[in-house]
Amino acid sequence: MSDDLEIDLDDIERRMDGAMTSLRAEFATLRTGRASATMVEPIMVNAYGAMTPINQVGTVNVPEPRMVTINIWDKALVGAAEKAIRDSGLGINPVIDGTIIRLPIPELNEERRRELTKVGAQYAESARIAVRNVRRDGMDQLKKALADGMSEDDNKIWHEEVQELTNKAIAAIDSTLENKQAEIMQV
C-alpha cells in the first residue's frame, strides 16, 4: 500500500472521541438530583456589557449534596447573576444572601426524571450523528483513494477499520447513555 493512499485513522478516531467528549460535557449539565458545580457552567451572566460564564464572576462551590453556592466577587453583579440563573432553565430558584447565591437542589419527581432521560437520549443521538458524519468522511476518503488507484483489497481492509472505529464509538455512547439514565432515575 503506498503512503499517499492511506487513510488517517488516527484523525478519524480523534474526531469520534471528540463527539464522546462533547457528550460527556453535555451530560455533566443534566441535573440528577445531586448538586454539581458543572450544572451552572453553561450559564452566562451579562457582566460589564459582555456575556461571561458564571464561574468567571464568582466562585462556585458544592458545600452539601443538595446545595450549590456561588460567591459573586462584585456585589454589582449579584442581580445579573440571579437573573441569568432564573433564565437558564435549570428550574432552580436562587436564594440571595449578600454576595452569595444559594441554589437549593430540589428532589426530582418521577415525571422530571423521565424528561431528563429523554434529554440525555437526544444528546446521545446528536453524538451518534457526529460519529456517523465522521464515518461518512472516512468512507468518502476511501472512495477517492480507490479512484486514485488503491487496490480493492486494501480498500476493503480500510473500510472495515473505519467501520470498527464507528462501532466502538457508538457502543461507548450507548454505554454512557445507559449509565447517565440510571443515575437520573436513581432516587
pLDDT digit string, tens, across residues 104-149: 887 778 888 888 888 889 999 999 999 999 999 999 999 998 898 8
Domain boundaries, position 50: 34-104
Closest CA to 119 of 49, 51, 33, 23: 23
From 70, 104, 138, give the residue that closes a domain.
104
| pLDDT reading at 29 higher than 80 | no
**CATH number of the domain within which 166 lies:** 1.10.132.20
Q: What pLDDT is attached to residue 5? A: 52
pLDDT digit string, tens, across residues 57-75: 999 999 888 899 999 999 9
From 84, 104, 124, give the residue that closes a domain.
104
